[in-house]
Amino acid sequence: MKDAKFKALELASNALAWMDSVILKFTSQASLPEPLACKLGCHYCCFNQPMLTPPEALLIGHYVEGTFTARDAHELFARMESILNLTNGKSHDEIVKMRHELPCIFLKDALCSIYEVRPAVCRACSSTSAEHCEKVFESRDFRARLRCYPEIREILQTVHSSLLTDCEKMGCQSDLILVTEAMMDYRNHPRPIEAWTGGEIIFHPSRVD
C-alpha cells in the first residue's frame, strides 16, 4: 500500500515537473513576441475555483498535511467552508460569474500558499499584460479573455489528458474536480490516498453545465 501511495503522488509530481519544463522551454524562445508579465504578488487569476485531477488533489492534500501548521489548517478549513457556502446549489456558469467573491482557498496575503504543488491549471495561467489582467478583473466581465499564449493552454490540456488516462489505466477515479470540494473530500476521508488507489470514488466530480 505504501508503494501505491507513493505512485499516486509521483504521478502528479512528475506530470507537473514535465509541464514546468515544457513551459520554460517555450517561454525562453528568443522569437517569443512578448514576455510573460506574471510576477510575485499578481493574483488576479487566483480569483477562480480551479479544476484539477485526482492525483493533483492528492498531492496538494498530502502537502498541506505535511507543511501546514494547526493554525494554517484551521484557517484553510474556514476558507473552504466559506466558499462552499457561497457556491452551494449553484451551477458552474453561476460560479464563474461570482469569481470576484471566490478567491482560491490557497490564496493568502496575495500569495499562493501551496506554490510548490500548485495544480496544472494554475501553472498554465500566463499573461503578456498584467495591466490587461487588472482591467479585466476590475471590469467584472467574466467573458473577457486574458492575453495568453494558446500554446501554454495546449500544454495544460495535454497534462490533464495524460493524468486522467493514467487514472483510468490504474482503475482509479478519473474525474476533473473543483479544488475546494476536493480538499474538503480529502479532509473528510480517513485515508484518501490509499482509498483512491484502491479504486474508491472519494471526490465529487466538477459541476460543468
Segment holding 52, helix H or strand E? strand 51-52
Q: Where are the domains of the chain?
A: 34-197
**In degrees, to the nearest 5, what angle opens at C-alpha 145 toward C-alphas 13 and 29?**
55
CA distances for 204 relative to 58, 80, 174, 177, 182, angstroms: 13, 15, 11, 7, 7
Average the pLDDT over each of 39-43, 58-62, 139-143, 179-183 and give the range with the smallest value: 139-143
| Residue pLDDT, tens place only, 64-104 | 999 999 999 999 999 999 999 999 988 878 888 888 899 99
Instruction: Give just the sign of the alpha carbon dihedral 29, 35, 41, 45.
Output: negative
Quote the pTM value: 0.93
Rounding to the nearest 10 degrees, give the CA dihedral for residues 136, 138, 142, 143: -30
Residue 36: pLDDT band by 50, 70, 90 thresholds? confident
Residue 209: pLDDT band by 50, 70, 90 thresholds? very low
Strands (E), 82-197: 107-108, 111-112, 177-178
| Residue pLDDT, tens place only, 135-185 | 888 888 777 777 889 999 999 999 999 999 999 999 999 999 999 999 999
pLDDT at 2 over 60: no
Is pLDDT larger for residue 30 or for residue 52?
52
The CA-to-CA distance between both ends of the chain, in Å, stands at 37
pLDDT at 1 over 70: no
